[in-house]
Structure 1
């Protein structure tokens, strides 16, 4: 990309062309993130990836907080947490402030493996987003969210 394009922007068609080339590469790289050997026994699906990524990035959370972050129903998160807790990948502990409430975290035995596996994405996003202004970050996130919504509308499940 030329310096002029970086400073002055590009037209819509040039942006689309660039993104059409970039998106398959990004998706391909994400798919090639090898699950560490010690995590392969858990048969992790893409839905688990988002849950684990939030726990890596933000630390242990209550089910309702995870549901809000994942933009899904708490029952969906409860099912995932139950499945991964039963297998030993996640652990539930009582909240110190409200003993009835459970906090979900990555089991100590698997923290390093999950961090190694997913931490690179967190670090890459941080390096890309930190130089931007808050407004630029918001525009990027809003645009990416709108793109996902348009794809969903074009190809409903």
Structure 2
């Protein structure tokens, strides 16, 4: 790294370091092999987020998934329908309310999806473990702010284009 990692960094130096780091991170993430069982399914990053929630937080309703993914329930319903047809997800009646459906990863593909997510989860655990809870919260909030700023820029570009 071009700056002293132990000392304070001005904003421009931090931006420079992150702009150099992000393409390497994205490249490494893209090289994570999709398990053979999932390769023919044309899974996209949006599917990865949905599957991550279901693996980490357990089965939930479409509305709960939509709230966590910050998208409309109809968007999640379409994704769930697509992944259900591919036997990645299943919908079952909620035992507490038979009118509601609970979405979960199928037992058949759970091991493959877990293998797919494991390298990223392990790397994040290793990077975040030495931090205090407050530092981890700040890191996550910073990443969220970065993504939100990119989204605003993307929205501005679409409005101008």
Corresponding residue for 2:38? 39
Corresponding residue for 2:65? 66
What is the TM-score of this pair, normalised by structure 1? 0.89
What is the deviation of 1:57? 1.7
Q: Does the CA contact (< 8 Å) of 2:91 and 2:102 recur in 1?
A: yes
What are the ranges of 5 or more consecutive residues in structure 1 without an aligned counterpart? none
- For 2:62 and 2:85, locate their aligned partners in 1 and report how far apart those are by CA, in whole Å: 16
What is the deviation of 1:88? 0.8
- For 2:11 and 2:75, locate their aligned partners in 1 and report how far apart those are by CA, in whole Å: 38
Q: CA RMSD in A?
A: 1.9
Corresponding residue for 1:30? 29
Does residue 143 of structure 2 align to residue 144 of structure 1? yes
Does residue 159 of structure 2 align to residue 132 of structure 1? no
Q: Which runs of 4+ in 1 moved over 4 A?
A: none
SS of aligned partner of 1:99? strand
Choose 136-145 or 125-134, whichever is displaced more: 125-134
SS of aligned partner of 1:103? strand
What are the ranges of 5 or more consecutive residues in structure 2 without an aligned counterpart? none
Corresponding residue for 1:17? 16
Corresponding residue for 1:123? 122
